[in-house]
């Protein structure tokens, strides 16, 4: 995986989180609660063009809730 900018990286992560959340049938509120983050934070993470830094711990919590490998967030589809 190679990202030529932070914008490309965050855009890919944002898109993947949203896609996996929707596939799992969870609302933003449900995922946020289960991942231990606020809905406003999750909303910002999923927003197109998000440039908010994310911790590995938060990504790990979200991946665990969605029952996927954390590396899936970095795949460009």
- Phi, psi dihedrals of residue 68, rounded to the nearest 5°: -130, 165
Q: What share of the chain is helix, strand, coil (3-state, %, to 5)?
A: 65, 0, 35
Predicted pLDDT at 19: 97
Tens digits of residue pLDDT in 50-73 = 666 788 999 999 999 999 999 999
pLDDT at 3 over 80: yes
Instruction: Write down the pTM of the prediction.
Output: 0.90
For the structural domain made of 22-70, what CATH number should be given? 1.10.260.40
d(CA 15, CA 76): 9
Give the tokens for residue 36: 């231990």
Q: Is 42 exposed, middle or buried (0-12, 13-18, 19+ CB in 10 A)?
A: buried
Q: Give the chain's mean pLDDT.
A: 91
């Amino acid at each position: 995986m190679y990202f030529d900018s932070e914008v490309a990286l965050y855009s890919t992560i944002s898109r993947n989180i949203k896609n996996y959340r929707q596939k799992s049938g969870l609302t933003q509120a449900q995922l946020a609660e289960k991942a231990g983050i606020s809905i406003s934070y999750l909303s910002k993470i999923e927003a197109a063009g998000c440039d908010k830094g994310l911790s590995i711990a938060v990504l790990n919590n979200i991946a665990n809730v969605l029952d996927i490998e954390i590396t899936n967030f970095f795949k460009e589809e």
